[in-house]
Amino acid sequence: GDSVTQKQGQVTLSEDDFLFINCTYSTTTYPTLFWYVQYPGQGPQLLLKVTTANNKGISRGFEATYDKGTTSFHLQKASVQESDSAVYFCALALNSAGNKLTFGIGTRVLVRP
Amino acid sequence: EAAVTQSPRNKVAVTGGKVTLSCNQTNNHNNMYWYRQDTGHGLRLIHYSYGAGSTEKGDIPDGYKASRPSQENFSLILELATPSQTSVYFCASGDARDWGVGRYFGAGTRLSVL
């Protein structure tokens, strides 16, 4: 079945460090891919959406590029701040599945001041 | 401002009891979703709806029912609650501008079934 894999359970950084979160996916067709961010005590927020048409998404200093060759959709940010501490979820949606999202298990990012 | 409001925020239920989780959105979105979040599983889709009167099964619908009486309201019903349904539940709404998927999530309902 369709799946999304986030292998990094937790990433610990210092302010101004580079953030890279790995996400790979497995489907039989080309999906639309999403990154969500969840701050403590809140629901997830949509951070980025990328389709095969545009290949890259940028929002709030975060960037993700859709690589069909390696079926990956990594999230990166050049310089993190303490306020970026949150859980980040990669997710995919397939046209054939309507509007359903399949989420990864999430990566907890802790940014130390 | 777009909003999704869930009630209650916290709920303690007894095994075998009936639980209803409510969700209201002011975004005028056609699509609404119920997810549960558990450590090690991310978010998993329980039920969703394309509009008033419609409910569809998600990936883990067993033990849950859903009701969409209006554009604004979407409820999740546990007829016979079990301890395995202890979790955090999130409601979301979305429309075609975001490819229909959940764009705005509520703050969640923490449910404990004892």
Q: B43, A99: Cβ pair inside 8 Å?
A: no
Tens digits of residue pLDDT in A17-71: 999 998 999 887 778 889 999 999 899 998 988 876 667 888 899 999 888 888 8
pLDDT at B1: 64
Tens digits of residue pLDDT in B98-109: 655 667 899 999
Question: What is the C-alpha to C-alpha distance for residues A1 and A7, in angstroms, rounded to an integer?
Answer: 18
Tens digits of residue pLDDT in A73-90: 899 999 999 999 999 999
Q: A101, B101: Cβ pair inside 8 Å?
A: yes
Q: What is the DSSP string of B44-67?
A: EEEEEESSTT--EE-SS-TT-EEE
> Does the pLDDT at position B83 exceed 90?
yes
CA distance A56 to chain B (A): 15
Of B40, B58, B92, the CB nearest to A105: B40
